[in-house]
């Protein structure tokens, strides 16, 4: 367990330093905050807890999967907690962050992952578009759409 956590911390640091942050105007200071929130969500999806996930996604979440399913905050969190959606690993590459105003950001990246959805091992490779919104001082995922590569 310790090695898994250590790996997650090391991978987080590498990902954060490798992502491209594209600020727009006065949003320069917000872009790294958005990137950090996106990284916390990546980690929370691998080792999910209700409180961690709940703090990172908006109440009005629209979470689109590459197969067409759209989750709400409740169903997104429930599927991760009960193993219907089970990420063993998640790697993020080619990430860009663009803050379009002080409270909204567009995050794009490539996601590759090993999964074990409902006990069935698999692999996914996706392009992701995420819309993040600052709510109550914290960046939260408001909308997400994935497409298969």
**pLDDT for position 29:** 78
61-72 tens-digit pLDDT: 999 999 999 999
- Count of domains for the chain: 1
pLDDT band at 27 (very low <50, low <70, confident <90, very high): low
**What CATH number does residue 27 fall under?**
3.10.450.50
Which pairs count as long-range contacts for 13-19, CB under 8 Å and 24+ apart, including other chains? 15/39, 15/42, 15/92, 15/95, 18/93, 18/95, 19/92, 19/95, 19/96, 19/97, 19/109
Q: Alpha-carbon distance 131 to 106, whole Å?
A: 5
Domain ranges, residue 110 = 2-148
Judge whether 102 and 27 are in contact, CB under 8 Å: yes
Quote the pLDDT of residue 6: 36
């Amino acid at each position: 367990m310790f090695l898994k956590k250590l790996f997650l911390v090391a991978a987080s640091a590498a990902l954060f330093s490798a992502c491209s942050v594209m600020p727009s105007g006065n949003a320069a200071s917000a872009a790294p905050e958005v990137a950090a929130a996106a990284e916390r969500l990546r980690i929370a999806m691998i080792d999910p807890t209700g409180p961690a996930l709940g703090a990172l996604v908006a109440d009005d979440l629209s979470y689109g999967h590459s197969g067409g399913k759209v989750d709400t905050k409740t169903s997104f969190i429930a599927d991760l907690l009960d193993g219907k959606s089970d990420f063993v690993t998640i790697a993020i590459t080619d990430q860009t962050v663009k803050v379009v105003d002080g409270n909204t950001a567009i995050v794009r990246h490539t996601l590759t992952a090993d999964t074990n959805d409902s006990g069935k091992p698999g692999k996914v490779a996706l392009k992701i578009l995420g819309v993040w919104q600052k709510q109550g001082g914290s960046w939260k995922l408001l909308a997400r759409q994935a497409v298969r590569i």
